[in-house]
Structure 1
């Protein structure tokens, strides 16, 4: 997967090519992403704990709103897998509790559904979504995009 600079948080490029960011094929569909992007160095703060990481990410993050060309079927697949993962995360403890109250032996084993669900969410986020972060120069960078989309953006 490739990386593309799309402008500063307040002035994002509007002339993005009409190619899907994940598949590189022409598309008329688009998705609006909004959030906060932090520089890459804030990830290293996790070594010092959750609170230092949260503080660094929050204080150095900048709000963004960007519209990216993205095929609708890919977005729906991504959202479906993510939803299924979170359902498994929630279902694990609930099923273990219900099983334990019903007297089922080894009902605690059902908590592994949560682990499976969390793995599903992580893999889905990594494979089917894009990342947005700030470069050291303060430019918004979209990561995990298709190489054809990245080449078209550089032209």
Structure 2
């Protein structure tokens, strides 16, 4: 998978191509992703202090709005995997709470089963995001980068932004 620089953080980006960002096949469907991103140095603060991380994350985050060509079938698979991971995680957490509340003397042994469901949900959610989704990150130079894109999409973006030579 490739990474593509699309603009500056804090900007609205509309990619007007007909190549799916994830599969590389022609598509007319688009998906708008909104959110916020922080520079990479903010993550380092999590190793030192949680309060400092939360403060720096709140102060350094910049919002984005990116419209990408995304096959609706591929996008739906990504979203279905996200919903499944969240559902399994919630079922596991409810199982842990019920085991602690209802369990008599075997709380430790019975907590392992819902705990394993929570771990499986976390691993499944991360794998789903890596294999089926795209990520949007900020570089230290405030560039907006879309990660885990199909190489065909990356080539199409590079070809689209390349200006023709004038003689």
| TM-score, normalisation: structure 1 | 0.86
**What do residues 99-145 of structure 1 show as CA deviations (whole Å, max 9, x unaligned)?**
66377964212222111111111211222211112223222111111
| 2:141 is equivalent to residue 137 of structure 1 | yes
Answer with 1 or 2: which has the greater Rg: 2
3-state DSSP class of the match of 1:86? helix
Distance 1:99 1:58, change over 3 A: closer
5+ residue gaps, structure 1: none
Which position in structure 1 is the counterpart of 2:77?
A: 77
Paired residues for 1:22-37 under 5 Å: 22-37=22-37
Which position in structure 2 is the counterpart of 1:58?
A: 58
State the alpha-carbon separation in 2 of the partners of residues 21 and 104 from structure 1: 52
State the alpha-carbon separation in 2 of the partners of residues 15 and 128 from structure 1: 19
Per mean C-alpha deviation after superposition, the further-off stretch among 96-105 and 59-68 is 96-105
Q: State the 4+ residue runs in structure 1 displaced beyond 6 angstroms.
A: none
Distance 1:13 1:86, change over 3 A: closer
Q: Identify the match of residue 110 of structure 1 among 109, 113, 122.
A: 113
- Tell me by how many angstroms 1:19 deviates: 0.8
Root-mean-square deviation (CA), in Å?
2.2
- Tell me by how many angstroms 1:22 deviates: 0.8
5+ residue gaps, structure 2: 160-167
| TM-score, normalisation: structure 2 | 0.81
Say if 1:97 and 1:107, in contact at 8 Å, map to a contact too: no
Per mean C-alpha deviation after superposition, the further-off stretch among 89-98 and 19-28 is 89-98
